[in-house]
Structure formats: C-alpha cells, structure tokens
Chain A
C-alpha cells in the first residue's frame, strides 16, 4: 500500500505542477489603453478614419490579413460549406491571408465584447440578418457602445446588381450576399404514400393534418422566427396568436432548434417540417429519396431571409474588407456561395448550373418584414408568442 501511495503522490504532484504551469501560461496582463473616445489618436495604432468609409483610402496601406467572422456552419458544415473555397479563391487573387473566426454565439459574441469595451480582431461579419442588425442597434441605443459596431458599406463595386427587395439595412451597412426562403418540407412517402401537404395556412389547421407539422421555437431559432413572422404577415398582429392556438389544438410540435427538429423529421416523426426551400439540393447530392424532401409554399409564399455581410467600424483593414465584400458579390463567387451554402445568390446573373434551379425552389411570391417594422415589434411579437404558447 505504501508503494502505491508513493506512486500516487508523485502523480498528484506532477498533475498539480502541470496545472500550475498551464495556469501561468494562460494568464496575461496588459496595460489598459486610454479611454478611447472619438479622438482620432486612439490606441489602435493604425491611423484610419473612424466614421468616413472611403475618404481614408489613398493614404492607407493594404493590410495583409483579413479576419472574417461568421457563423460556424459557414465554414464547418459536415456536408458542404463555402468557407474553405472562399478562402482559397480570395487568397489566390489577393496578396492577403483570410482568417476565420466562428464563435458559437455568432454576432452576439462581438456585441458582448463591444459592450464590455474589449477589443476583437474581426474585420468583416458574414451572415447577419435583420433581427441581428436590430440587436446591434438596440444595444447602441442604450449608449453602451462608444461608436457604431458596423461601418457603412459605401459605394462598393457590384452592389447595384443585388436583387431588389433583398437590401434589409436602411443605413446601408449590411450588404446581402445570399438569401434563403423558409417553407414547408414534406414527406410524400408517409401515410402509405398518400400524404400530400396542404396548400394554405388555413388548410394546415384542418383536422386531417393533425399532429403532422414540426416547427421551431421563434425565441431560440431563426427558422422558427421566420415562420412566426410569416403567420403574422398572413393573419396580422392581432390574429397570429389565435392562429397559433389553432395550430396548437391541431397538434403542431414546436422544438427548440432546426437540428433537433430536422432529426425528428428524418426519423419520420411527422410528415411536414418548417425548413428551407433549398432542401432538395442536399438530398439530391446525397442520393436520398426526393419524395421525402418535397417543398410546399403555403399561400404560394415563402418567407425570405436574406443574409448580409458588414464591415466592423474599427477594422484594422477597412480597404481589404471592402475588397472582400466586392469579391463576394462577383457573379462566379455568388454562384459558388449559393451552391456550397445551399442558398440563393443575391444577384440575378450568377452562373449557376442548370440542375440547381431544379432542386432549389423559389416561391412565386416572397414575404419579408422591413427593418423598421421588425425594430418596432419583433421583441413584443416573440414575447407574446412565448407567453401564449409556453403557457399552454
């Protein structure tokens, strides 16, 4: 026993010693910079204009590293994701290195840092939507930021090719680079091959579709939020809660996020799910049965969720960031993103392969709320939904 005891003591000491070293290596203390106000002589080092977007260009040297912040699946999906390809294409053309940052809390990560006054390295954010932009602005409204988080995009090459109706930022900071449509996906092999999804929101509450739909929680999921907004568009701010009550009575299943609900759909828990109208793109490349991946646009509409990119106002490489945004809007890059991100391009003339349109369905009519409508109401709408629905 003594022998074993001695061995364990050494092991214990080794372990504690190692933790101590790691602890020291993991801590740092840096002098705190002077409180930065709007003075141009800030501690950032690189002299760059704080507000103007284009005026500083002639004097600024081209920085050689661009830090692109985005949501994890953009670079890291198990199937296809545009990240690696974009990095390769960008670096082969520009004499620069593209570095990705993919925090799990997405844009909130940067908002939290900005609110706390902590520096971050990202130059561009790729993949923000109207709701996130509103989050950014509501924080600034409380005066916690010393300046705006994002700079105005200004006049960027290729910007005029963006489709009408996709621009969602009234202050022109966010530039759309792709869009998706939230729709129903349904499984025609269910009910012994007899199942067919309803055509309208009204029919969805019919008894024959009881227990047939899986949706997501608007307070925790983007697709869930889009579907709720679509019902608000269809039934009005006074009617949507009653409509949801009918959905609830008809046995709708509301799960927490898209992946939970999609795995339930794949396990054939229900024949319909709220998802994206590009669902078949992936199913076809995987050789899956397309009958299980049918698309239905209720009321012949789909809720449009454009994705934008914006440059951080305190980026060290504003010129390179602008080049990157222009690069993202080029037709061949647009086509590449669309195929790898399984979404629609933001411009009309992206050279997509022919079969892409066959699998990525566009709704006859697209529905979306504007920044102003959402800014005034989104919080209330979601809270009301949560209170009514969770109370059930």
Chain B
C-alpha cells in the first residue's frame, strides 16, 4: 500500500490532528508509525541539511548584493541591474555562447547515446564508464591540451600539412570555447540520453510496427517522445553549466569573450564583494529560472509508465550487409573520427606532453612527481596524499550525496502542489558557481556561525565534502527520479500484500529496480567530487586537504611536464574508479 504522501504533505498538521494521528498510529503499531512519518521526516532532514550546507552559506554571500554598511539598500544589485554593460553585453554574450555550446554538445552527444544504447560491442560498458572522464579533467589541462591539439603548431595542423591541406588557426576563438564546452558536456548528454533510450519500451515499438508504422514513423512517434525529456535534461544542464563557465573562456577565448563568471571572479579578486555578489545573483537568477521552467515542462511530460522491456541491441558488426546497414556503420565510423578529434586527441596530447620536452621523450615529469613525493617538504603539495584526499573526498561525497539525492528523488516523485518549486530549489546548487559556493562555505561554515556565545566552525575538509556533495547530489536526483517515477506500483503492492514490511519493500523491491539510476548517480557524484576545483581551492588551506586537481594547478610552472604528469595520474585514477563503480553496480543488474 503506497500512501498518497502528497496529500500528507499538503495537509496542515495541527496539534489535534497530530495527536489523533499518533493515537491511530500507536494502535496500529510502531511500524505503521514509522511508515506514516518516514517521508515527512525524510523531507525535514533533507531540507535541514540543504539549508545548513547550501542555502545559509550562499545567503551570506548574496547579502553583499543588498546590504551596504549594515543597511539594506539593494545598492550594489541596483548598480549592476541598471548598468547596460553588464545587463546587455555581458549577460547577452554569456547567454549567446551558452546557447551555442548547448547546441554543439547535444549534436555531439546524441549520436553517442544512439551507439551506446542501440549497439552491442566489446567494451561497451567500459566505454560508457569512461564517458565520465572529461568531467574530471582540470580546465588548465584542457586549455593546454587544446592548444597542443588545435593550436597553430598543434597536432591537427601537423596532420593537415602532412596531407598537403591548408592549416587552420583555431585558437583563441569563440569556436574553441564551444568545442571545449562540448568536450565537457557532450558526454553528459550521451549518458543521460543513453539511459533513457535503454528504458524505452520495446513492446510499444513492436505494437506501433504491428499496427503498420514504418520503422521511421515508430521511431518518431514512440521513441522520440520518450527521449525528449532526457535530451532536454542534458541540454538544460549543459546550458546552466556553460552559462556559469569561467576558466574555459578565459583560457581559450581570450578576454574579448568574457562571461559573467569572469567578471564575478575579477570583482572578487578586487574585493568588490558587492559587485561580485550582485553579478552572482543575476547569474543564479537566470540559471534557476531556466531550471524551474524546464522542471515544469518535465512534470507535464511525466507519464506513469509500467515495467518495461528494453529494446534489443544490434551487433556493431552485422552478420550480413545491406545498403542501409552499411550506411549506418559508415555514419558511426564518421562519428568515431569526430570523437577521436574532440575527446581523444586533446587527452592524448596532454599525456604526450607529460612524457616529452621539446619533442624528445623523457620521463622527467614523472621523476619529478616521485621526487616531490619522496623529498617534498610538509608544506608542499605531494602527489600521493593528493590522490588519497581525492579518493576520500569522493567517497565521503558519495556517502552524503547518495542518501540526499535518493531522498530528494523519492520526495520529488510524489505529487503535491508546488512540487516544481521544491524541485527547482533542490536543483539550485547546479545553478550556483563553484566560486560562490566556496566563498559561501568559507564565510558561512569555516569562519563559523556565532550563536549562544559560541562560534561554531567546521574544518576545511568537512566544508570541502559539503561543497562537493551539494554540487553532486542533484545528479543523483536526476538519475534516480525517472526510474522511481516509472516504478510499477503493482509490484510494491504485491510485496506488501504478501506480508513484507514497508522498509522490506523498499530494500528488496524498489531499491533493486532503481539501482542502475543510483549507480549512474554515484558515478556522477564521484566524478564531480574528483574534478571539483573552484570551491576546493577556496576551502583548502594547504593544510593537507589538497586534491588531485589542486596538485595539477600547483605543479604548473615554466614547463608543462609536472602538471600534465599529475593530470595523467588523475585520469588514470578516476578512469579506474569509474570502472569499479560501474562493476560494483553491475551486480544488481542481473
């Protein structure tokens, strides 16, 4: 029996009613009591955690936008909002490049989802795991790798001139920004859409076909509507991420292409907190509105779906060739070339940079890492502790973000009024940039809160985990909510009818059914934790809390070797971690 929790939440719990409910519950036993209050309790705990770890810290930053010298004046905010330069030029350009970046990411990500979801080949699972890798590559390395690949003297031009083709000068340019954004976000689109594609009901397609629809028509009328929400999820997230982008335009676009985040960073650096906060409010406002609009759309789209049987994957190498099959394989081959150029070439260039100086091969960079590990002073960043820290923070992020995300997923799949608002607020961490989150946590938690004559503070490490978990849990929500939504209520009800307790049903029926979503969410949470830089660096005080991306940044100097070597280690450690996460998740699938 699944209680209509929406109704429970909507109901105003007056004292008398509460007493009545308690009385009723007591006569029914403690299990029923727990069941009745489990969800509201879950909601309360989740809300409290979010308020503590996110909303309070962020509020401390945003206060700067409206308070001047202890008086609420809205002065700094008004100043930015009435400035045509910020409102038109900066905001306009930021939105423009985010739109183009989103289009490119979707265009590049969709074929990947098609290949992953519809074809069977060796290494498919592994390929799926490594789609998370771009997420963790520090932007400094992406910049260096893009210059090494697409720059005037890069690999691409070397290849072109070897073929006798004219050389291209691609950097810096708006195009470079867009391709780098696609590098980060197309895998996200691929992953989200592939997951949706895999859960398309084969029965529905077969029904359409048996009713006389052509394959094309069946695809358009049955498959596409089921993919659309996932495509829009990917597109919305990409837009929000590229709207709040900072390091990539700064490194690859040159300063003509400065985004709003670049201005936030510069204002913060010049200690113009009022301006930084006002711009952050503007940025967050746009991202959050977009997210809210999208979530309303998604809710309108969501239809009750039953347990489904997935489409059968075709072999990548067909047993017999037809013209159409050959054309499709040709298209996949063409796509593979593009993928190699956009994803593999920059990563390969980075790895090559770690083993070469001026064109000759050397392991000096790795020797530097070993030396730094062996003889580095306490106050210097060493590779091994950075790896350990990254893994620990990643694990702690999982421990916090998974329950938080699953709880929020459960809550947001119930029907109640104003759900889209709860949804939007719970997704808000994605709309706030790492710099603002880091600054908020620094001022809100690390500096501490004064109450009852005490100053409550948390250490940098805890604040870092909080920042990572807050940034990561919306991904868990996004991957867990759809399967939860689609869960067959009949299964739950049968389990209860056969005498299983509510908790037992959750553990034995519901959890296994949504497990693939939880695993995907875990991979996202881990990737975000491993790759996070902005908030980490604000919160890490060099007190033994440096992570791998921080180490990469510290190892940059007048040569790229040490940083790229550390970057290669980062790639290796994370790629291995994702494969482990997916394998661990695999035990639930079969």
Closest CB-CB distance, B73 to chain A, in whole Å? 14
* A:335-392 near B, CB below 8 Å: 379, 382, 386-387, 389-392
Q: Flag B319-358 by CB within 8 Å of A: 1 or 0 each.
A: 0000000000000000000000000000000000000011
Contact stretch, chosen from A172-180, A200-208, A266-274, A295-303? A266-274
**CB-nearest residue of chain B relative to A2?**
B508
**CB-nearest residue of chain A relative to B559?**
A286
How many residues on A have C-beta within 8 angstroms of the other chain's C-beta atoms? 82
Partner among A22, A135, A282 whose Cβ is within 8 Å of the Cβ of B270 = A135
Q: Which residues of A contact B169 (CB under 8 A)?
A: 211
Q: Known: A28-B456, A256-B251. Contact between A104 and B258, CB under 8 A?
A: no
Contact A269 B147 (CB under 8 A): yes
Contact A77 B557 (CB under 8 A): yes
Contact B172 A253 (CB under 8 A): yes
Once the chains are docked, how many angstroms separate the CA of A142 from the CA of B153? Answer: 50
Q: Which residues of A contact B262 (CB under 8 A)?
A: 217, 219-220, 256, 390
Q: Known: A27-B457, A77-B557. Contact between A84 and B172, CB under 8 A?
A: no
Q: Which of A113, A219, A288: most chain B Cβ within 10 A?
A: A219
Q: Say yes or no for A96: interface residue by CB 8 A criterion.
A: no
Q: Say yes or no for A89: interface residue by CB 8 A criterion.
A: no
Q: Say yes or no for A146: interface residue by CB 8 A criterion.
A: no
**CB-nearest residue of chain A relative to B392?**
A22
Contact stretch, chosen from B299-307, B397-405, B414-422? B397-405
**CB-nearest residue of chain A relative to B442?**
A112
Once the chains are docked, how many angstroms separate the CA of A16 from the CA of B400? Answer: 7
Once the chains are docked, how many angstroms separate the CA of A115 from the CA of B550? Answer: 26
Classify chain B's interface size.
35 or more
Contact B403 A257 (CB under 8 A): no
Closest CB-CB distance, A71 to chain B, in whole Å? 11
Q: Say yes or no for A30: interface residue by CB 8 A criterion.
A: yes
Q: Flag B543-582 by CB within 8 Å of A: 1 or 0 each.
A: 0000000100011111111110000000000000000000
Q: Which residues of A contact B153 (CB under 8 A)?
A: 267-269
Closest CB-CB distance, B375 to chain A, in whole Å? 9
**CB-nearest residue of chain A relative to B372?**
A78
Contact A260 B251 (CB under 8 A): yes
Q: Flag A18-34 by CB within 8 Å of B: 1 or 0 each.
A: 11001100111111100
Q: Which residues of B contact A15 (CB under 8 A)?
A: 395, 398-399
Q: Flag B251-268 by CB within 8 Å of A: 1 or 0 each.
A: 100111110001101101
Q: Which residues of A contact B154 (CB under 8 A)?
A: 267
Contact stretch, chosen from B193-201, B285-293, B376-384? B376-384
**CB-nearest residue of chain A relative to B566?**
A78
Q: Which residues of B contact A389 (CB under 8 A)?
A: 255-256
**CB-nearest residue of chain B relative to A11?**
B584
Closest CB-CB distance, B502 to chain A, in whole Å? 16
Q: Say yes or no for A111: interface residue by CB 8 A criterion.
A: yes
Contact B377 A84 (CB under 8 A): yes
Contact A83 B379 (CB under 8 A): yes
Q: Known: A19-B400, A100-B379. Contact between A113 and B271, CB under 8 A?
A: no
Once the chains are docked, how many angstroms separate the CA of A270 from the CA of B512? Answer: 56
Q: Which residues of B contact A138 (CB under 8 A)?
A: 271
Q: Say yes or no for B143: interface residue by CB 8 A criterion.
A: yes
Contact A262 B558 (CB under 8 A): yes
Contact B69 A108 (CB under 8 A): no
Closest CB-CB distance, A228 to chain B, in whole Å? 11
Closest CB-CB distance, B278 to chain A, in whole Å? 15
Q: Which residues of A contact B558 (CB under 8 A)?
A: 79, 262, 279, 282-283, 286
Contact B562 A105 (CB under 8 A): no
Contact B271 A135 (CB under 8 A): yes
Closest CB-CB distance, B269 to chain A, in whole Å? 7
Once the chains are docked, how many angstroms separate the CA of A268 from the CA of B368? Answer: 25
Contact A260 B455 (CB under 8 A): no
Q: Which residues of B contact A26 (CB under 8 A)?
A: 458-459, 461-462
Contact B512 A1 (CB under 8 A): yes
Q: Say yes or no for A290: interface residue by CB 8 A criterion.
A: no
Q: Which residues of A contact B520 (CB under 8 A)?
A: none
Q: Which residues of B contact A386 (CB under 8 A)?
A: 255, 258, 263, 266
Once the chains are docked, how many angstroms separate the CA of A254 from the CA of B255? Answer: 5
Closest CB-CB distance, B60 to chain A, in whole Å? 9
Q: Known: A9-B507, A289-B358. Contact between A264 and B380, CB under 8 A?
A: no
Contact B554 A22 (CB under 8 A): no
Once the chains are docked, how many angstroms separate the CA of A256 from the CA of B259? Answer: 12
Contact A255 B377 (CB under 8 A): no
Q: Which residues of A contact B271 (CB under 8 A)?
A: 108, 111, 135, 138-139
Once the chains are docked, how many angstroms separate the CA of A76 from the CA of B382? Answer: 10
Q: Which residues of A contact B143 (CB under 8 A)?
A: 260, 263-264
Closest CB-CB distance, B71 to chain A, in whole Å? 13
Q: Which residues of B contact A266 (CB under 8 A)?
A: 559-560
Closest CB-CB distance, B85 to chain A, in whole Å? 6
Q: Flag B458-472 by CB within 8 Å of A: 1 or 0 each.
A: 110110010000000
Contact A4 B454 (CB under 8 A): no
* A:236-283 near B, CB below 8 Å: 248, 253-257, 259-260, 262-264, 266-270, 279, 282-283
Contact stretch, chosen from B218-226, B235-243, B481-489, B534-542? B534-542
Once the chains are docked, how many angstroms separate the CA of A75 from the CA of B462? Answer: 26
Contact B542 A254 (CB under 8 A): no
Contact A118 B447 (CB under 8 A): yes
Closest CB-CB distance, B537 to chain A, in whole Å? 5
Closest CB-CB distance, B473 to chain A, in whole Å? 13
Partner among A8, A101, A142, A255 whose Cβ is within 8 Å of the Cβ of B254 = A255
**CB-nearest residue of chain A relative to B149?**
A267
Q: Known: A105-B538, A217-B250, A260-B140. Contact between A79 and B557, CB under 8 A?
A: yes
Q: Say yes or no for A87: interface residue by CB 8 A criterion.
A: yes
**CB-nearest residue of chain B relative to A264?**
B147
Contact A29 B456 (CB under 8 A): yes
Q: Flag A87-120 by CB within 8 Å of B: 1 or 0 each.
A: 1000000000001111111001101110010100
Contact B462 A22 (CB under 8 A): yes
Q: Which residues of B contact A112 (CB under 8 A)?
A: 442-443
Closest CB-CB distance, B452 to chain A, in whole Å? 9
Contact B507 A219 (CB under 8 A): no
Q: Which residues of B contact A61 (CB under 8 A)?
A: none
Contact A31 B454 (CB under 8 A): yes
Closest CB-CB distance, B525 to chain A, in whole Å? 12
Q: Which residues of A contact B459 (CB under 8 A)?
A: 26-28
Q: List the interface of chain A (C-beta within 8 A of B).
A: 1-2, 4-5, 8-9, 12, 15-16, 18-19, 22-23, 26-32, 72-73, 75-79, 83-84, 87, 99-105, 108-109, 111-113, 116, 118, 135, 138-139, 142, 211, 217, 219-220, 248, 253-257, 259-260, 262-264, 266-270, 279, 282-283, 286, 288-289, 379, 382, 386-387, 389-392
Q: List the interface of chain B (C-beta within 8 A of A).
A: 69, 85, 89-90, 140, 143-144, 147-148, 151-154, 169, 171-172, 247, 250-251, 254-258, 262-263, 265-266, 268-271, 357-358, 368, 372, 377, 379-381, 395-396, 398-400, 402-403, 442-443, 447-448, 450, 453-459, 461-462, 465, 507-508, 511-512, 537-538, 540-542, 550, 554-563, 587-588
Question: What are the 7 tightest A-B residue pairs by CB atom distance, in nearest-first order?
Answer: A256-B250, A26-B462, A219-B266, A78-B562, A15-B399, A19-B399, A254-B255
Cross-chain pairs A/B with CB under 8 angstroms, 17 sampled: A5-B588, A26-B462, A27-B457, A27-B459, A29-B456, A32-B455, A75-B377, A87-B377, A100-B542, A104-B542, A108-B269, A111-B271, A217-B258, A254-B254, A264-B147, A267-B153, A288-B357
Known contacts A30-B457, A31-B453, A267-B152; 18 additional CB pairs below 8 A are A19-B400, A22-B465, A28-B458, A72-B542, A75-B379, A83-B379, A84-B377, A101-B541, A104-B542, A112-B443, A116-B443, A262-B558, A264-B171, A267-B151, A279-B558, A288-B358, A390-B257, A391-B85
